Amino acid sequence: MLSQKTIEIIKSTVPVLEVHGTAITKRFYQMMFAKHPELLNIFNHANQKQGRQQTALANAVYAAALYIDKLETILPVVKQIGHKHRSLGVKAEHYPIVGENLLAAIKDVLGDAATDEIIQAWAEAYGVIADAFIGVEHEMYEEAGGQPGGWVDFREFIVQRKVKESDVITSFYLVPADGQPISTYEPGQYVSVKVELPGEQYTHIRQYSLSDAPGNAYYRISVKREDAMQDKPAGKVSVYLSEEVKEGDSLRLSAPAGDFTLQQEDSRPVVLLSGGVGLTPMISMLNTLIKSGTDRPITFIHAAKNGNVHAMKQAVEELAAKHPQLSVHWCYTQPTEKDRLNGAFQKEGYIDLPWLQKVIDTKEASYYFCGPIPFMKTINGALLEWGVPAADIHYEFFGPAATLA
């Protein structure tokens, strides 16, 4: 337990963190990687370069300071980050390294403003926060390794099938190299894939949503090839998987993780909305619902640039033809002439609230969405404007958590 004085000191730093939080976390990563370059085998280098990881950590530190006297308030965030840490292989022994460098970064950025009293208070607070993460993640490791077909850390899988789903998305059907069973998962969860790229010093880990219903003898991930765009370089891992990995090759996977999952006990209508490759967890949820035999009304809405990049369209339409409780709607921002001639979409442009109100039968439903951040901000804003309760809105960020405000 923290003393009242320590709590007061931590809370007094909240305004400072609001202003300097990202500068502190940016310096933190610089210092930590300089002293412990081996941790570059765990962290996503692209998210570091784009500043997403620094921003996400700054937001987490800010929230921890704000609720330091009520840490149970941020327990959902702790669990969400804990899933990612367990999937990446973050262990208890990493936390002292993080603490040492975080305190050093606070001192480095704030200078004389970071008094000995403030640094000592943050050292105590970090110890409490770290213990919370370590405890949560310990339980997650035990659960991952203890269930039938489960394992801890990374396990070798073979690419049994590789299927091109669109011009930019490819599915990989993965079976365990040891021929043993694999653990089940909740629709919406993801796995981490660890690869060693030719010519690269450090391993790279990426997290991909499982894109099929659980209960199969394989895991399926569907990967979008991230090509270079303006000042944004191509995605090293996605290009490697799409262009270099062949059927019969092996990949190392961590056990399924994640807290963005379908609430299957809910009997109300369900609305699944996706943009781009954000459809992968939605497909898992859709296939699970259909496989379960539920009669829940399902509305499946997907936004894509055009038909060339629209993955799994035929599979979803075939499900809709067989299951009257499922309605599907496509939104294309830049349809091709072929798309127009074939009537391949129902809306041109971007999804908006008036259109959603036309295609969704009832507001009283559970909503799940995933996609690029601008898409997610639009959907979240539209649902809230419509009056959908926040408790009925569920979403997942690809990569570090951001804000939809």
Residue spans per domain, the chain = 4-146, 154-254, 270-396
**Alpha carbon distance 264, 290 (integer Å):** 12
> What is d(CA 112, CA 109) in angstroms, rounded to the nearest whole number?
9
Do the first three CATH levels of 154-254 and 270-396 match, i.e. the same topology?
A: no
Domain 154-254, CATH number (from 2.40.50.100, 1.10.3720.10, 3.40.50.2300, 2.40.30.10): 2.40.30.10
Annotated binding site for heme b: 85
For 300, phi then psi, to 5°, come to -115, 115
Q: Which amino acid belongs to residue 166?
A: S
Report which of 65, 141, 50 is spatially closest to residue 102, judged by C-alpha positions: 65
Tell me what pLDDT residue 140 has.
95
Q: Which residues are catalytic?
A: 95, 137
Question: Running DSSP on this structure, what letter comes out for residue 247?
Answer: T
Question: pLDDT tens track of the chain, all 405 residues?
Answer: 789 999 999 999 989 888 998 899 999 999 999 999 999 888 876 666 666 777 877 788 888 888 888 888 888 888 988 999 999 999 999 999 999 999 999 999 999 999 999 999 999 999 998 998 999 999 999 999 999 999 999 999 999 999 999 999 999 999 999 999 999 999 999 999 999 999 989 999 999 999 999 999 999 999 999 988 877 888 899 999 999 999 999 999 999 999 999 999 999 999 999 999 999 999 999 999 999 999 999 999 999 999 999 999 999 999 999 999 999 999 999 999 999 999 999 999 999 999 999 999 899 999 999 999 999 999 999 999 999 999 999 998 776 555 666
What DSSP character marks residue 392?
G
| Protein fold of 4-146 | Globin-like (1.10.490)
Binding site, residues?
A: 85, 190, 206-209, 276-281, 397-400
Task: Tell me how far apart the alpha carbons of residues 386 and 377 are, in angstroms, rounded to a whole number.
Answer: 14
270-396 folds as: Rossmann fold (3.40.50)
- The DSSP bridge pattern shows strands 219-224 and 298-304 to be unpaired
Contact 147, 183 (CB under 8 A): yes
Q: What angle do CA 56, 66, 399 make, to 5 degrees?
A: 15
* Nearest-angstrom CA–CA distance, 345 and 333: 10
Binding-site entries for NADP(+)? 276-281
Annotated binding-site residue numbers for FAD = 190, 206-209, 397-400
Task: State the DSSP string of 30-81.
Answer: HHHHHH-GGGGGTS-HHHHHHTHHHHHHHHHHHHHHHTTT-GGGGHHHHHHH
The DSSP code sequence of 257-324 is B-S----TT--S-EEEEEEGGGHHHHHHHHHHHHHHT----EEEEEEES-GGG-TTHHHHHHHHHH-T
Q: Could you count the other beta carbons within 10 Å of the beta carbon of residue 19? A: 9
Exposure class string for 205-231: b at 16+ Cβ within 10 A, else e? bbbbbbbbbbeeeebbbbbbbbeeeee
Report whether 137 contacts 85 (CB < 8 A). yes
